[in-house]
């Protein structure tokens, strides 16, 4: 078993069920609010219909799901919420990608 598979087993045990509607894949990942001392990512923005959350989320997902190839219209779903990727990158251990990390933003639901 390689390192990526070991990490994916931990995600399956401790992560949340996540899906990629684009191709129907389901997998487990970690998605948590980003918390900074400056709280710069926990702000809301005033809109004509009320406050909109500008919160960002940390994504840690399996090496088997390359999120760096997704475009700006692709979303992932988890716990009833949709997110899009602001930025994503692989995390390497030696010469192997062991997981992907990213910053997510909640997707606005279509009206």
Rounded to the nearest integer, the mean pLDDT of the chain is 86
Can you read off the two tokens belonging to residue 106?
């909640």
The answer to whether residues 31 and 55 touch, using CB atoms and an 8 Å cutoff, is: no
Helical H segments across 1-111, by residue range: 3-14
Query: How does pLDDT run across 36-74, given as a tens digit for each residue?
Result: 654 554 555 555 655 555 688 999 999 999 999 998 889
Say how many Å lie between the first and final Cα of the chain, rounded. Answer: 46
Instruction: Output the pLDDT for position 100.
Output: 98
DSSP class of residue 68 equals G
Q: In the chain, what are the domain boundaries?
A: 3-106
């Amino acid at each position: 078993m390689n390192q990526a598979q070991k990490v994916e087993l931990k995600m399956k045990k401790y992560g949340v069920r996540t899906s990629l509607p684009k191709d129907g894949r389901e997998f487990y990942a970690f998605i948590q609010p980003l918390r900074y001392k400056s709280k710069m990512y926990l702000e809301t923005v005033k809109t004509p219909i009320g406050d909109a959350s500008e919160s960002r989320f940390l994504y840690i997902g399996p090496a088997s799901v390359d999120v760096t190839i997704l475009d700006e219209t692709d979303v992932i779903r988890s716990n009833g919420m949709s997110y899009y990727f602001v930025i994503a990158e692989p995390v390497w251990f030696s010469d192997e990608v062991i997981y992907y990390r990213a910053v997510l933003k909640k997707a606005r639901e279509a009206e």
